[in-house]
Chains A and B, each alone.
Chain A
């Protein structure tokens, strides 16, 4: 009976039924199909009538038998857990439940996790650790693959012929390092100063400080490799500050040999006030040209929770001139905040210094933030863009007309 049933189900599923019906097999098949549906009902009633062997609660038995084994193994385990261990257990359970939680967690991270003020903060922190872990794993896997490929290639190379001869000994990178350092040393004597204002520690969270330092490290790298580097100053730099500790973490021994000027003095104490220009996106003044005689100040701050006016306030307090990059003038801005990362600012400044070409310099603004470069005056382009957007979104007709009237007044 069972096999007949199976066969029938197949027939019904493969839509042979209408075909068969057309060919005069209607009656028989309908009869059969009725018995089929009947048997289906029965199945649901007794939950599993035809598959007699299937014991639906067997999984419970399996689990319980397993439990007995385990319980006998771990009888004498102490029941009380320290809060740290309890947190660890909770994390483990979350991982088992399929949440974004790291597999391994250090004690320090666990403590940070426990100190998070809210549930969502905890969740975010765990997700961050989880992604970090994933990235690390991926990198490691890629490294391993690369190594293997290299070994294979070496094997093949050694089979075919000896190493190629070249007049240069392979010391390219260390020679480059020396050349770069020479230039940086030159810039420390003759170069144009560029100030990083390190007075924002209070405004930032620990992670923001970490990001800031990473961005500064990148900027310093760009600067060192450029043709005509700036003389970098870290002003308002306090020893043993969070910045300092992060720098040591990033540079290790190289921190002591870095060709930059580090000072706890303010820039106003080192340089004449009228030469200083504070770069900030909040500035009402837009920078027109790069001035080789001025000293530009960049605020060493990452503000994830956009804090408007913080760096402008610094400049206002000290009575310094401010400037913002002419992003609106040259780029058709689409999304994102106008504040750029420190390394982007550095690249833009370096390019301006070398070429004075805004278009070239602003190539370093992330592409996702703008639609393109501007040829016509921005205002007109913006109007058309707004108009296109409103048309696209399909706002009410009135609104479009209003927009139109605004952009093209009757005269």
Chain B
């Protein structure tokens, strides 16, 4: 339905209602379309008046819809009126109305009232992300940075995840302020990005750069750059952090992989205890390997070639550098077939160690184990993103470790789709005190989680 352009009389509303195909939901549909068309508020008022006169009351959802329209148009006095009415009419309000009220008021000069409303919400439930973000933005818009950061810290403490948008606004509104506390808080945000492996997008990056450069007496300079493959920053010649995990992180990760990925709830789901034990002794006797290859995965690289040929090419290519290779496969590869020729398999077994798992076992788990056992220098070859294995890890911290380790150790043969080569440096926000290096995304949305940005913001203090 098309909402009318001007306020209507009761009779006119009645007529419209009768003409509507299902009169019971007429008001709801009409208000929805008013919200969609951003109709003048007076039109909605006239409908409300008509309804109030007819029924002697207004339903809660009607008030909420009217509130949506008011918030959409920034009608502050109306928002307050609706709030007063709701407050007395209903014992409590639900989150939808609070979201609207806080959003509406935080954009006005009555933004402090949004803060009191937020306190009210807190008494009943954990406020939503939009509630917090509206209040944080309102506070920082009025240069009350301390308040803004208090709210921000509270939000994080309650496990409410902020959007990049609100982080950016914190940088934007802190521009040009000289305040050591504030600086610490903003560095805190950068470290938050680091810990959660979040990459800012281009506009956010620009806000960060402008903030740094605006610090009075800070002498910060920012440059956009690409990091060399060696991990050196061409602007400040600084060497970026190594992609290797620390000793502790490394042992932590290998422990978790064995416990959660290989054993999980039941060792029999992916392998069997006997088989895993056999594999363990096999690996221990031959350690350390330089490269571990997922045989089956590699054998599918070129679909038109015979599978063992693909594997043969890969093994030959990697064996050249005198590396110790381990190829993981399944028992069916040993049976002479059109895809697996016995002579070629024999030939390969001279160049690399082979382990054949049962046909119903998962060889990926073995791949991870053998690589981690061999030590930090060991790389692995597969096109698999290993997402299902990452998903077996219970907490996000270990998952981040896994991703970092994977970035540094996975080799992917170029084929239909290619992943980035193993990185020597760690692709994450990092600092040395007088320099900051911040990777950023060129596009607003990052499409694949395995892709890491190639562009960097280098900030150094002169």
Contact = CB atoms under 8 A, between A and B. Distances in A.
A313 B268 contact: yes
Interface residues of A, number: 42
A89 interface: yes
A57 B60 CA distance: 17
Given A63-B52, A86-B124, A284-B359, A48 B46 contact: yes
Nearest to A311: B269
Given A93-B94, A284-B359, 12 more contacts: A51-B7, A56-B45, A57-B49, A59-B45, A63-B85, A90-B92, A97-B61, A97-B96, A98-B28, A308-B269, A312-B360, A406-B303
A267 B269 CA distance: 20
Given A54-B46, A284-B360, A312-B269, A59 B7 contact: no
Interface of B: 5-9, 28, 40, 42, 45-46, 48-49, 51-53, 56-61, 64, 81, 85, 88-94, 96-97, 124-125, 265-270, 272, 303-304, 359-360
Given A63-B89, A97-B94, A310 B266 contact: yes
Given A59-B51, A405-B304, A90 B124 contact: yes
B53 A62 contact: yes
B59 A58 contact: no
Contacts of B96: 97
Of A63, A67, A203, chain B has the most CB atoms within 10 Å of the CB of: A63
Of B28, B53, B268, B359, chain A has the most CB atoms within 10 Å of the CB of: B268
A55 B46 CA distance: 8
Given A64-B85, A94-B94, A317-B268, A54 B60 contact: no
A97 B7 contact: no
Contacts of B57: 62-63, 66
A47 B96 CA distance: 29
Contact of B45 (A57, A203, A284, A313): A57
Contact of A316 (B9, B60, B268): B268
A157 B79 CA distance: 65
Interface in A299-331: 308-310, 312-314, 316-317
A122 B5 CA distance: 40
Contacts of B94: 90, 93-94, 96-97
A213 B8 CA distance: 58
Given A93-B94, A97-B64, A97-B94, A309 B9 contact: no
A44 interface: yes
Q: Interface majority SS on A: helix, strand, loop or mixed?
A: helix
Given A59-B49, A97-B94, A284-B359, A54 B268 contact: no
Given A90-B124, A313-B266, A44 B58 contact: no
A98 B29 CA distance: 13
A48 B6 CA distance: 8
A94 B81 CA distance: 21
Contact of A59 (B48, B268, B270): B48
Interface in A268-321: 284, 308-310, 312-314, 316-317
A320 to B, nearest CB: 12
Given A90-B92, A284-B359, A310-B269, A56 B42 contact: yes
A13 interface: no
Nearest to A49: B6
A47 B78 CA distance: 15
B49 A58 contact: yes
A197 to B, nearest CB: 14
A142 interface: no
B297 to A, nearest CB: 18
Contacts of A59: 45, 48-49, 51-53, 58
A10 to B, nearest CB: 13
Contacts of B8: 51
7 contacts: A44-B40, A51-B9, A56-B42, A57-B45, A67-B89, A96-B94, A310-B269
Contacts of A93: 60, 90, 92-94
A176 interface: no
B366 to A, nearest CB: 16
Contacts of A40: 5-6
A43 interface: yes
B440 to A, nearest CB: 31
Contacts of A44: 6, 40
A316 B272 contact: yes
A73 to B, nearest CB: 13
Contact of B7 (A54, A66, A71, A94): A54
A318 to B, nearest CB: 10
Given A96-B59, A316-B272, A47 B42 contact: yes
Contacts of B28: 98
Contacts of A89: 91-92
A60 B85 contact: yes
A407 B19 CA distance: 60
A98 B81 contact: no
Contact of A67 (B45, B85, B304): B85
A58 B46 CA distance: 9
Given A93-B92, A97-B94, A316-B268, A54 B49 contact: yes
Given A66-B57, A96-B61, A310-B269, A58 B6 contact: no
Interface string A96-138: 1110000000000000000000000000000000000000000
Contacts of B59: 96
A53 interface: yes
A239 B361 CA distance: 35
Contact of B49 (A55, A317, A402): A55
A313 B264 CA distance: 12
Nearest to B125: A90
Contacts of B85: 60, 63-64, 67
Q: Which 5 A-B pairs have the closest CB atoms?
A: A313-B268, A96-B60, A59-B52, A93-B94, A62-B52
